[in-house]
Structure 1
């Protein structure tokens, strides 16, 4: 039996690579075929033929996937399933302690970027003055009381001491849904873009996951709802802005990749900004213990 001819017949529509391309794999094939052809009994000959056919099919498969130079190679699909990652993040969120902050406390968030850090103290009830520090600059986040906030002169000298209308935006969000369907409806209705705008929904997911303090069931619902967004893609072997490895989730039109721990699926931040500090503190300037 001419095993090489059999391979050529089975791969007639696929150009074969040369011997250098097949390398060690082809050598093993020829050796196996030679060994089988030396069998003497009819039973052995039949087995050899079957083995050769199997080997030929394997080579055909190898040939079929070999680059031909006709076009660019397609990158392999990510091993991670984006929905599975987000469901895992939801399960991880349910393990977080449910310890509501007091109204007068602050949510502390430290975000690491490529060349700077940002520290924020955000009022838990939205009615106390918060604070942001980045690149040596400070910014007051004025609390909203009775529908108005007082303009700080350091931030806006021309309006120093005046009051502007505002809407209370607490860092501790007890007003959000606790089920995936209800959360998806909320995101679809309340984001800044048009209904069905996955990019705008994704930005809201990023903001709520990184700069708000959510009860465990609410945070789990957020990730469960995110898993239903159209166009999700997983990105293997990414690192957040702090250099921590993980698995990424992105979607069309969104320039930022959310990063989750590859084993626990805990949320880490994004490829552009990693959450490296997070907790509840009693006053501006204090750090979590």
Structure 2
């Protein structure tokens, strides 16, 4: 399907400190279940990502966006387990001091070209893929705000159309802005959005390159099972 195109709103650091304070305060009040040994974490999400194909014979390049769909592939759980640094046990063992936590996250990025962007992406991966303990979640958001280049975007939207504000950062190499979307009233995390800020490989500015929405998080007793009661979002 054709990618959506949205107006590009400039981000700002003016409200960054106060916004993150509200997000972190809301996170500390979140009631999250505690997984027991042998249990599994269930995350229900809707996602859509940009795909590109190249025709070697004609040189034609085609870019499209997947229709919105549940994260499991073809109705089946994605195999494997989270990398060790994205696991619940790893998160629970991390410091809840934002500076110390950010240092730990940087340590997972390796010698990449843009460690700041990679660290921001790691935080996005954690909050999209895990059930994060409340105090750790608050520290993650505070840590994200300490990464150079992070701004507040006043108007963003998750994959299901829920609107809110975002903590965002532009990948200067590829011209894509990653936005972590939060409810404007409750400051709960909703999902993420990717927006092309400057043209790259034919992708025009304003193109929505990625959308996710986190609908439910819970603890279950076995793989490929669903929670019997609604968990948290």
Shorter-chain TM range is: 0.5 to 0.7
1:263 shift after superposition: 1.4
Change (3 A) 1:112 1:202: same
2:128 to 193, 197, 210: 210
1:255 shift after superposition: 3.4
* Cα shift readout 1:162-208 (whole Å, capped 9, x = no counterpart): xxxx9696334322111111112112222245497221011111011
* Structure 1 gaps, min length 5: 1-73, 120-132, 144-165
Superposition TM-score, scaled by structure 1 size:
0.55
2:218 to 279, 282, 285: 279
Change (3 A) 1:279 1:98: closer
Report matched runs for 1:39-54 at 5 Å: none
Distance 1:193 1:259 in 2: 28
Aligned pairs, how many? 181
1:136 shift after superposition: 4.1
Distance 2:96 2:11 in 1: 32
* Structure 2 gaps, min length 5: 1-7, 49-66, 194-210
Q: Match for residue 160 of structure 2?
A: 242
1:256 shift after superposition: 2.2
Cα RMSD, aligned residues only? 2.9
1:223 shift after superposition: 0.8
**Partners of 2:106 and 2:115 within 8 A in 1:** yes
Distance 2:99 2:85 in 1: 25
Residue 232 (1) aligns with residue 232 (2): no
Change (3 A) 1:140 1:249: same
Distance 2:128 2:111 in 1: 20
1:142 shift after superposition: 5.8
Superposition TM-score, scaled by structure 2 size:
0.67
**Partners of 2:44 and 2:214 within 8 A in 1:** yes
Secondary structure at the residue paired with 1:177? coil
2:87 to 136, 150, 170: 170
Q: Which has the higher contact order (CA 8 A, sep 6+)?
A: 2
Segments ≥4 residues shifted beyond 4 Å:
74-80, 166-169
2:191 to 241, 257, 269: 269
Change (3 A) 1:142 1:248: closer
